[in-house]
Amino acid sequence: MWLLAAVGTALCFGVNNTLFKWSTSKQLSKTSIQFFFYLVAFILVFSYGILNDSFHFSILSMSIGVIAGVLNANGNIQMTKAFEKGPASITSILIATNAIIPVLAASLFFPESILIIQWIGIGLMLVAAVVVQYQPGSSGNLEYRPWMIRVALSLLSFGSVGILMKMSALEHIQLLDMLLSMYGGGLVYLLFFIGRQSVQLMEIKLSVIVGALSIIGFSCYIFALQTGPASIIFPIISLNCLVVMIAGLFIFKERLRAHQFIGITVALIGLVLTKI
C-alpha cells in the first residue's frame, strides 16, 4: 500500500505542478493561486477535523507542520517563478532532484540504510542536474541566473519538506494535525506576499483544484512514510516531474536540446535506481 500511496502522491504533485505552469502561461497571479490554494485546503481540513473531533495538537506537531507549510509554500512560489524563466520539462526535472536531500538524511539521521545501487542513482541525478542546466553561451543571459536561483531555492525547500515529513512519521504525528498546521503555516507566510492584489475568478477555481489535490497528495505522502522506507518513497514521489515533462513537451510545445534530453534520461535512470 505504501508504494501505491507514493505513486498517488507523485501523480497529485505532478498535476499540480503542471497547473502552476499553465497558470504562468495565462498570466495568472502565482501568489494569489498559492494563497487561495492554502486557504481552501486549510478550510477543508479544519472542517473535517472539527466534525470528527480528530485534532490532537502538540507543540511538536504544530512546529513541524508550520515549518513544513512555510517551506512548501516557498518551494511552490520559487518553482512557478522558475517556470517563467525556463522550460517546464527541464525545470521540473531539476527540482525533482530534491529527492537527494531527504534520501541522504534518511541514511545519516534516520534508521535506514542506502544500497550501493541507490548511491549510484543519487550520483546520476547529480550529474544530470549539471548536464541539463548547461546552456552554451549563457554567460550573458540575464534570464539564466535568476532561473537557476529559483530552481535551487525550490529544490532546497521541497527537500527540507521531505525531511520534516519523515520526522512527523517517526514521531507518529496525526495526519490531520500535520496537515492543518502545514496549511496554516503556509497561509500565514503567504499573507506577507498577497498584499492588495486583484483576484481573478480563474485563480480561485484553480486554487480549489490544487487545494484538493494537495490534501490527497500529502495524505498519501504521510501514509507512505509511516508504512514504507523513506529512501525509496522520496525518489518515487520525485517522479512527479514526468507529468510536468510530458505536459511541457506535448501541451506547452517545448523543445529539448540533445544534451538536455540526455541529461533528463540520466536523471530518470537515477530516480529509478534509487527506488530499486
- Residue 136's Cβ-count burial label (10 Å; 0-12, 13-18, 19+) is exposed
- Confidence band for 126, pLDDT divided at 50, 70 and 90: low
Between the ranges 3-7, 62-66, 141-145, 195-199, where is the mean pLDDT highest?
Answer: 62-66
Distance, CA of 174 to CA of 177 (rounded, Å): 5
pLDDT of residue 197: 66
Report the percent of the chain where pLDDT is more than 90. Answer: 26
Q: List helix spans (H) across the chain.
A: 2-25, 30-52, 59-85, 88-96, 100-108, 116-133, 144-170, 175-194, 201-227, 230-238, 241-250, 258-274
Higher-confidence position of 144 and 56: 56
Euclidean distance between CA atoms 89 and 109, whole angstroms: 32
Per-residue b or e along 79-118, where b marks 16 or more CB atoms closer than 10 Å to that residue's CB: bbbbbebbbbbbbbbbbbbbbbbbbbbbbeebeeebeeeb
Q: Which domain holds residue 100?
A: 2-274
Confidence (pLDDT) at 62: 93
How many independent structural domains does the chain possess?
A: 1
pLDDT score at 214: 92
CA distance 91 to 20: 12
Find the mean pLDDT for residues 93-102: 81
Q: What is the pLDDT of residues 208-249, one digit of tens each?
A: 999 999 999 999 998 998 888 777 787 778 778 777 777 777
pLDDT (0 to 100) of residue 79: 84
Question: How many residues make up the chain in this entry?
Answer: 276
Distance CA 74, CA 230 (A): 23
Average pLDDT, stretch 159-174? Answer: 89
pLDDT at 183 over 90: yes
More confident residue, 17 or 125: 17
Neighbours of 141 (CB within 10 A): 12
pLDDT of residue 135: 58
